[in-house]
Copies of this chain bind each other. A is one copy, B any other.
């Protein structure tokens, strides 16, 4: 984990159950949903649907693709996960028990470095005020290369492909 966890009153599982039962049309908490929540919050990682399915299968948990997609939608709605739009596939990030943060994304190895910034928060407050904009959330992603990948330029970069 790159950032310290935030103290929360409930486990993700509890928070999800509460969300499900407090809906206008109460929804059910199933075994598979429980497995997903537990697995997802057993480690702090960014993931997409496929990575989650692979990971759970490797952990001996059985899940169906359709249910994963359906449950991810609910987890976002419940405030447990946050969507990150960083390319063709949707990426998810913990949004409960973990502080608001931004990302440095290495375009070579895919590594995500997280950071927090009070200055940014202050800046966004000011800008939104100036434009009379009412923010609900934001995403900041910096693309580039991490220190290791920057050093080892010689491994399969885009430039190499151009030269073929």
Could you tell me the dominant secondary structure of chain A's interface residues? mixed
CB-CB under 8 A from A117, the residues of chain B are 123, 127
Select which of B104, B130, B134 is within 8 A of A145 by beta carbon.
Answer: B134
Judge whether A162 is part of the interface by a CB distance below 8 angstroms. Answer: yes
Select which of B86, B124, B137, B150 is within 8 A of A134 by beta carbon.
Answer: B150
Complexed CA–CA distance, A28 and B137 (Å): 43
Judge whether A136 is part of the interface by a CB distance below 8 angstroms. Answer: yes
Contact A134 B144, CB 8 Å, known A85-B86, A123-B117, A123-B123: yes
CB-CB under 8 A from A127, the residues of chain B are 104, 115, 117, 142
A117 CB to nearest chain B CB (Å): 6
Select which of B86, B113, B135, B147 is within 8 A of A144 by beta carbon.
Answer: B135
> In residues 95-152 of chain A, which contact B (Cβ within 8 Å)?
104, 106-107, 113, 115, 117, 119-120, 123-124, 127-128, 130-147, 150
